[in-house]
Structure 1
Amino acid sequence: MQVSDSRQDTCFDLRIERLGPLPLINHFIDRIGLEELLARHLPSDARCAVPHARALGVLLRSLVVEREPIYRQQETVHGFACGMFGIDAEEMRHLCDDRLGRALDHLFDADRAALLTEVVLAVGRHFGVRFDELHNDSTSISFYGNYRDASGRKIRGRSAPVITYGHSKAHRPDLKQLLFILTVNADGHIPVAFRCADGNTSDSRTHIDTWNALRAVAGRADFLYVADSKLCSRENMDTIDRAGGRLITVMPRNRREDQEFRLWIQTHTPDWTCVWDRPNPRYSDGPRDVWWVYRAPLPSAESWSVVWVWSTLLTLRQEARRRRNIAAACEQLQRLRDRLAGTKTRLRGAADIDFQVKAILDKYSVGRTLKVSRTVREDHLFRQTRRGRPGPDTAYRKITKRRFDIEWTTDEEAIAYDHKSDGMYPLMTNDRTLSSAEVLQAHKGQPMIEKRFEQIKSVHEIAPVFLKNEGRIEALFTVYFLALLLQSLIERELRLAMDREGIEDLPLYPEQRPCAHPTTEQVLRLFSLVERHRLLREGRTIQIFEAALTDFQRQVLSLLGISEQAFRSKN
């Protein structure tokens, strides 16, 4: 905006410089020393207009703040004050999507495992993050397109991931995918390890490599490793146990120990110990959330402890799910029966009908509770033996047509059998020093990793991926991991400060409603409109009008340990 002074015939220029939450993000990046670590692992020569580390720093800040695709990064950077994205004005002019693509190429070529290990260790040193309990899980990232070249080819001597079909955890079997393997700690659920695997990789084959990488991060082998039932294989558990590691996993339903307990509980009552008895987390007038544990007297086949868990709310959910599944399966079976009774049905053969019945039972997992039988129904039709008008002496012949039909009944005994163990599942651990309550407490931290997956998919919008080179895609996923790490650290620091200061909630929700568990997304939104103004005359700065922060913004900065000077101009 230009302002003219008629007395001196001088033209003033008032520029608006957007800051947003970038000074806050830069504080955490500097505290980790992230750019120095990137520069050491991704060196650049003098001919590079924008060093690789700084280009990736731009992309990292954009993923946290703006979430724009790579081809719009130049527009995003020019909308903020100079230096907010870690590059100066000269480097801003050379920034483009091709420059960022080459930086991703160098990140793919670098030793990313060593880089991430150093980053996480720096986080542990500067933020006091502990690595004594780690939770692992994976999710699938879907891709739209053919990706014919992404078949595990070599790119500059390194094997690129295979983008292919697999077990889609997003329930999109029609799309190709990659596997995003993430590990978080129990101290704030901070991401501590990441790995990208082929789209058709089974989770059971990822744990050994992940555990070896975590041992380098933790600096020892006796940390507690918590994972889902895919960890429960002989090879995985033996490898971790022989190396001195500790683990907690969910015993799958196909194990003999699980079947024996569910049979034993039909005529026996375990000596349950109540661990938690708390109000319903969703409904104030709902049933209470009660958890019991019971240590099985017999160990597992590996001679390890088996702790059975029983939840009241999980019992209600499983009972309701069983009723819904039976009702839905019966509705589908009735539709199939109506098709068989129709005159134009194409299901003539017994094999076709059995296949349709099996598909329905498998879809709703009611093979034990619904018993379906295929029957033959005879339809009789009488026709005259000769043409003409029928009379008292007309002879008729009987035509019999056979049609297949289905009948089903509900197996009440099977339902009663399953009802006895509703809401119960077994946990297995090789650490015999842990009590049953401690085993449950450790496993209850496992769902928090799903929150991180939700953030990276919904908040950071990792998909759709606007890249075709699978090497750059794997490098981009590494940058997404760093963005998730930054977000988690901000969230952890703010919540720890609230506990330390005795603050129960902050007015971060719309309409200043109280928020007891603030997230980074809410903090970034609080600072999204922060800007300063610069008054220029003939290209020279006359005066800078600094950003006017509210009292609440200053309070949040104080809780995060950030000085208000971070939002002040340095020149």
Structure 2
Amino acid sequence: MEKRGRRQARYVAASIEKQLGALPVIADYARRLDLAGIIDRACPIRDLADLSHGQVIETLVANRLTSPAPLVRMTDWARELAVEEVFGINPALLNDDRIGRALDAIAPELDHIVGSVGAQAISMFGHPKDRRLDLKQIQAGLAVTGDGGVPVFHRAYDGGAGEVAQVVGAMTELQKMARPREFLLIGDSKLVSYNNVSAMTDAGVTFIAPAAKAYAPAVTLAALDLDSATEVNYAAQRDAAKSAAERGRWRVSQDTMTLAGKRKQDPVRTLRRVFVHSTARAHAAATARAKKLDRATDDLQRLQRGLGSRHYPDRQAVTARITAIASARRVTAYLRTETGTDPATGKPTLHWWFDQAALDAETATDGWYALLTNLPADLDPAEVLIRYKGQEVVERRYGTVKGPLAVAPMFLKSNRRIAALITVICLALLIFCLIERQVRLAIAPQTTLDGLYVGRPAKPTGRLIFEAWLDSA
């Protein structure tokens, strides 16, 4: 009798692991912003296409938020993460050519896309130069909300463009976006010029900006009387955990100044000039000056010990070294020297000291700076300072662009693609900041979350939130 063995077929399903991370959250925020829809309406594509431009850009935004790197091997990134499962996109379609065509498509429509997405963000979430000639350079301008520092507007500018000329265009776009609400424009010293102030005043836009030295010279600051200035009821966030005695203090006073145009018929513009004294700033200035003087003293003493050596054989060599020390240690304003030659030995001589009058004049300005504004007079100087204090959030957002979102390097040759990628990165920054803001609102009045840093609670910055998602994936 013949035995026949039975063969049993076995099917083993392969297990595929992919990182999920922050992708579902990013996709949700992109949907609420109508990101792909806004892009597809501005840049329509044939119905037969596998992917719309909006889908590609939405995926690029997710890439910047989860694995920022130059635009190479996007397909590999999409395969490693659950891009297909979350966004419904076949990773094989995200090749270099398709990404390049999407960037080309949105390049002529950047203004419309940025304005529409910014307006949608306000509607959904808001409550009212290194001279490297070998590289392409580009400037990126950001405008963020006072509530949460959410970037609702950005522009890419030519690397050599003057910043002062960028204000009016940004103001006009922000005014359209803010209607019917009024908005306060807070910027740096480049905001202030006769043309900019005239445009803002005529448009009914209020602003605050720090005064450049031309509008608040050292002699003016040195003459200010601290005792007659008004103390401000304000505590910096960095001082929140300190006792009242340890916290920095601010005092303010004010006067007015005028700006005149180049033409006789130009109306004179009158601005409020609010003088601010910060104890923290005064302490920092005194500490920095002491370090400069100590380092310069050490350099000059070593120079004096080496007089007549092969390094400093004559008066000319000594003078050259003094100039180098004064420049490197930034003590030119108060370093005084006398050099000569000893008739008996022929060696160079040196006598040096710091001009006490010059030091006293600089010390008198410690802690003082000025703000310029066209806010109405019924808003007291203390309130002007408090409103200005939100300006630093813009600098933090630039730090995010340069850090977690990795704006550089870019391996793109076309100017239009560079400008388009800047927009992609700024759209990623928008979602990054919205997530940070929503998490902070969700845990309020708490300001920290356990588990973001090992061993101690940490403030939920966008960077920490995304790192936590990555670690838990």
Q: State the match for 1:62 in structure 2.
A: 63
- SS of 1:15's equivalent in the other structure is coil
Q: CA deviation at 1:101?
A: 1.8
Q: State the match for 1:508 in structure 2.
A: 451
Q: State the match for 2:95 in structure 1.
A: 96
Q: State the match for 1:475 in structure 2.
A: 420
Q: CA deviation at 1:414?
A: 2.2
Q: CA deviation at 1:468?
A: 3.0
Q: CA deviation at 1:284?
A: 5.1
Contact 1:309 1:426 in 2 (8 A): yes
CA–CA distance in 1 between the matches of 2:280 and 2:83? 53
Q: State the match for 2:308 in structure 1.
A: 341
- Residue type of the partner of 1:194? H
Q: State the match for 1:560 in structure 2.
A: none
Q: State the match for 1:490 in structure 2.
A: 435
- Residue type of the partner of 2:352? W
Q: State the match for 2:264 in structure 1.
A: none
Give 1 or 2: higher helix fraction: 2
Contact 1:293 1:307 in 2 (8 A): no
- SS of 2:159's equivalent in the other structure is coil
CA–CA distance in 2 between the matches of 1:423 and 1:106? 50
Q: State the match for 1:16 in structure 2.
A: 17
Contact 2:154 2:423 in 1 (8 A): yes
Please tell me whether residue 444 in structure 1 is matched to residue 401 in structure 2: no
Q: State the match for 2:262 in structure 1.
A: none
CA–CA distance in 1 between the matches of 2:200 and 2:354? 45
Q: State the match for 2:220 in structure 1.
A: 260
Q: CA deviation at 1:357?
A: 4.5
Which residue, out of 311, 318, 337, partners 1:372? Answer: 337
Please tell me whether residue 106 in structure 1 is matched to residue 120 in structure 2: no
Which residue, out of 259, 269, 275, partners 2:233? Answer: 275
- CA separation of 1:333 and 1:203: change in aligned 2, threshold 3 A: farther
Q: State the match for 2:141 in structure 1.
A: 181
Q: CA deviation at 1:82?
A: 5.3
* Aligned positions, number: 456
CA–CA distance in 2 between the matches of 1:484 and 1:41? 21
**1:10-33 deviation line (CA, Å, top 9, x unaligned):** 333333343222111111111111
Contact 2:23 2:82 in 1 (8 A): no
CA–CA distance in 2 between the matches of 1:334 and 1:43? 72
CA–CA distance in 2 between the matches of 1:27 and 1:197? 31
- CA separation of 1:304 and 1:9: change in aligned 2, threshold 3 A: closer
- Residue type of the partner of 1:304? L
CA–CA distance in 1 between the matches of 2:319 and 2:178? 56
Q: CA deviation at 1:520?
A: 2.4
- CA separation of 1:264 and 1:126: change in aligned 2, threshold 3 A: closer
- CA separation of 1:88 and 1:8: change in aligned 2, threshold 3 A: same
**1:242-263 deviation line (CA, Å, top 9, x unaligned):** 2211111111223366633422
Q: State the match for 1:209 in structure 2.
A: 169
Q: CA deviation at 1:63?
A: 0.4
Contact 1:221 1:243 in 2 (8 A): no
Give the gaps of 5 or more residues in structure 2. Answer: 1-6, 259-268
Q: Spell out the pairing of 1:145-184 with structure 2 (5 A cutoff).
A: 146-147=134-135, 163=136, 177-184=137-144
Q: Spell out the pairing of 1:400-479 with structure 2 (5 A cutoff).
A: 406-432=350-376, 433-479=378-424
Q: CA deviation at 1:429?
A: 1.2
Q: Spell out the pairing of 1:2-401 with structure 2 (5 A cutoff).
A: 8-46=9-47, 48-81=49-82, 83-84=84-85, 86-89=87-90, 92-108=91-107, 110-130=108-128, 146-147=134-135, 163=136, 177-219=137-179, 222-255=182-215, 259-265=219-225, 269-276=227-234, 281=239, 288-296=246-254, 298-301=255-258, 302-334=269-301, 341-343=308-310, 353=319, 357-358=322-323, 360-373=325-338, 375-380=339-344
- Residue type of the partner of 1:294? V
- Residue type of the partner of 1:101? G
Q: CA deviation at 1:336?
A: 5.7
Q: CA deviation at 1:83?
A: 2.9
- Residue type of the partner of 1:483? A
Q: CA deviation at 1:421?
A: 3.0
CA–CA distance in 2 between the matches of 1:338 and 1:206? 53
CA–CA distance in 2 between the matches of 1:509 and 1:127? 25
Contact 2:71 2:410 in 1 (8 A): no
Contact 1:291 1:309 in 2 (8 A): no
What is the percent sequence identity of the aligned residues?
Answer: 25
Q: State the match for 1:173 in structure 2.
A: none
- SS of 1:121's equivalent in the other structure is helix
- CA separation of 1:201 and 1:289: change in aligned 2, threshold 3 A: farther
- Residue type of the partner of 2:185? Y
Q: Spell out the pairing of 1:544-563 with structure 2 (5 A cutoff).
A: none
**1:56-79 deviation line (CA, Å, top 9, x unaligned):** 222110100122331121001111
Contact 1:58 1:85 in 2 (8 A): no
- Residue type of the partner of 1:295? S
CA–CA distance in 1 between the matches of 2:306 and 2:140? 43
Q: CA deviation at 1:445?
A: 1.0
Contact 1:57 1:85 in 2 (8 A): no
- CA separation of 1:367 and 1:464: change in aligned 2, threshold 3 A: same
**1:405-463 deviation line (CA, Å, top 9, x unaligned):** 55321122222233233111111211123222211111111111121122111211222
CA–CA distance in 2 between the matches of 1:208 and 1:94? 41
Q: State the match for 1:156 in structure 2.
A: none
CA–CA distance in 2 between the matches of 1:336 and 1:98? 62
CA–CA distance in 2 between the matches of 1:197 and 1:406? 51
CA–CA distance in 2 between the matches of 1:426 and 1:42? 46
Give 1 or 2: higher strand fraction: 1
Q: CA deviation at 1:367?
A: 2.9
**1:466-487 deviation line (CA, Å, top 9, x unaligned):** 3333322221111110011000
- SS of 2:406's equivalent in the other structure is coil
Q: CA deviation at 1:7?
A: 5.4
- Residue type of the partner of 2:453? P
CA–CA distance in 2 between the matches of 1:239 and 1:144? 33
- Residue type of the partner of 2:222? R
- SS of 1:45's equivalent in the other structure is coil
Structure 1 vs Structure 2 CA RMSD: 3.1
- SS of 1:289's equivalent in the other structure is coil
